[in-house]
Structure 1
Amino acid sequence: MSSPKVLIVDDNENITEVVKDYFEHENIECKAINDGHEGLVEIHNNKYDLILLDLAIPRYSGIDILEELKKESIVNKNIVIFTASVVKQADMEKFLDIGVKEVLEKPISLALLESIKQKYLK
């Protein structure tokens, strides 16, 4: 059985580096992308067991990615949103329809990453 694969799409390279290091230390394949357009291409071209997505990416945001996935009827992905902003309930319901499993506020702790790993990468 192949190891689980995680994709992180976040413009903050410090965050993506720490999260990537964590998953790789846990023997989980992990790719970090710091650009929204590149992140969408990566989602199209590869299968991931978990996608960690920041909403506030300049130029092409996590919301843009989610809307594109919905247009293409690509749902039921394990998408967890990392965000520093408050998500309104109406937006949350829209995200859940697309396949978002939960929304987590930054900063993200190692304990939170561990719980995400347990939940989505069994």
Structure 2
Amino acid sequence: MKILIVEDEPAMVELLRYNLESEGFDVVSAHDGEEGLLAVEEEQPDLLLLDWMLPGVSGIELCRRIRRDGKNSALPIIMITARGEEHDRVRGLDIGADDYVTKPFSPAELMARIRALLRRRNPDIGAEKLTVGDVELDLVAYRVRRGERDLHLGPTEFKLLRFFMERAGRVLTRDQLLDGVWGQNVYLEDRTVDVHIRRLRKALNAGDEPDLIRTVRAVGYCFERV
């Protein structure tokens, strides 16, 4: 899962990055509100850690703008701030934050809050089986079924399908698919994604079954919740 940190203190960014990467999260960061808003659009994170006091656009204003944006309005947001008064916490939650952490905080507690929030937003995280529509993916037995039919997938197609199903309904760019399935330090051409998606589609779709992978022109792909 990808977490975006919007924080202007480099030491705090590195502390958060260290703890998040130790837990297996992919981490990106921005240092002010405008950069943070752009990163939300480009990176499509699974959760946002947002500092209240930012140069330029404040964390509160950034949270307000995200909640007004239909595409990202459901993005989980945790506010991180030195403002610990009750009326400040209430204001942050009223503006749309899902949780509120006051500096200084326990990294272990923050990690627990992040995991809990991600589980509430996506109960499939950490599950042994993923189910979207009539497709079931067994992460323990490495088996895939669509309806009554067993699907035979190669390792890459299995990982690709899992990545899609954990983010069903979201439009994913080719770069996001490359990073999520092959890894950020692997350099492949975008058409590699297209080749494996063709293989996955061939395995998924038989007869008059609807195509579950929608191509979004000039953007990427979306696994539909049929």
TM-score, normalised relative to structure 1: 0.82
User: Where does residue 57 of structure 2 map in the other structure?
Assistant: 60
Native 8 Å contact 1:53 1:82 kept in 2: yes
**Superposition deviation, residue 17 in structure 1:** 0.7
Cα gap change, 1:21/1:59 in structure 2, threshold over 3 Å: closer, same or farther?
same
Give the aligned residue type for 1:91: R
Native 8 Å contact 2:66 2:73 kept in 1: yes
Report the Cα distance in structure 2 between the residues aligned to 1:102 and 1:79, rounded to whole angstroms. 7
Report the Cα distance in structure 2 between the residues aligned to 1:90 and 1:109, rounded to whole angstroms. 21
**Superposition deviation, residue 50 in structure 1:** 1.1
Q: Which has the higher contact order (CA 8 A, sep 6+)?
A: 1
Report the Cα distance in structure 2 between the residues aligned to 1:19 and 1:61, rounded to whole angstroms. 20
Q: Say whether residues 1:34 and 2:41 are aligned partners.
A: no
**Superposition deviation, residue 77 in structure 1:** 1.2
- The runs of at least 4 consecutive aligned structure 1 residues that moved more than 6 Å come to none
Report the count of equivalent residues: 116
Structure 1: runs of 5+ lacking an equivalent = none
CA RMSD of aligned residues (A): 1.9
**Superposition deviation, residue 18 in structure 1:** 0.6
Report the Cα distance in structure 1 between the residues aligned to 2:112 and 2:69, rounded to whole angstroms. 30
Which stretch has the larger CA shift, 80-89 or 35-44? 80-89
The percentage of counterpart residues that share the same residue type is 27
Cα gap change, 1:66/1:23 in structure 2, threshold over 3 Å: closer, same or farther?
same
Structure 2: runs of 5+ lacking an equivalent = 119-124, 126-226
**Superposition deviation, residue 94 in structure 1:** 2.5
Report the Cα distance in structure 2 between the residues aligned to 1:117 and 1:28, rounded to whole angstroms. 11
Structure 2 residue matching 1:18: 3-state secondary structure: helix
Q: Say whether residues 1:75 and 2:73 are aligned partners.
A: yes
After TM superposition, the structure 1 = structure 2 runs for residues 40-119 of structure 1, keeping only pairs within 5 Å, are: 40-73=37-70, 74-85=72-83, 86=85, 88=87, 91-95=91-95, 98=96, 100-119=97-116
TM-score, normalised relative to structure 2: 0.47
Report the Cα distance in structure 1 between the residues aligned to 2:63 and 2:114, rounded to whole angstroms. 22
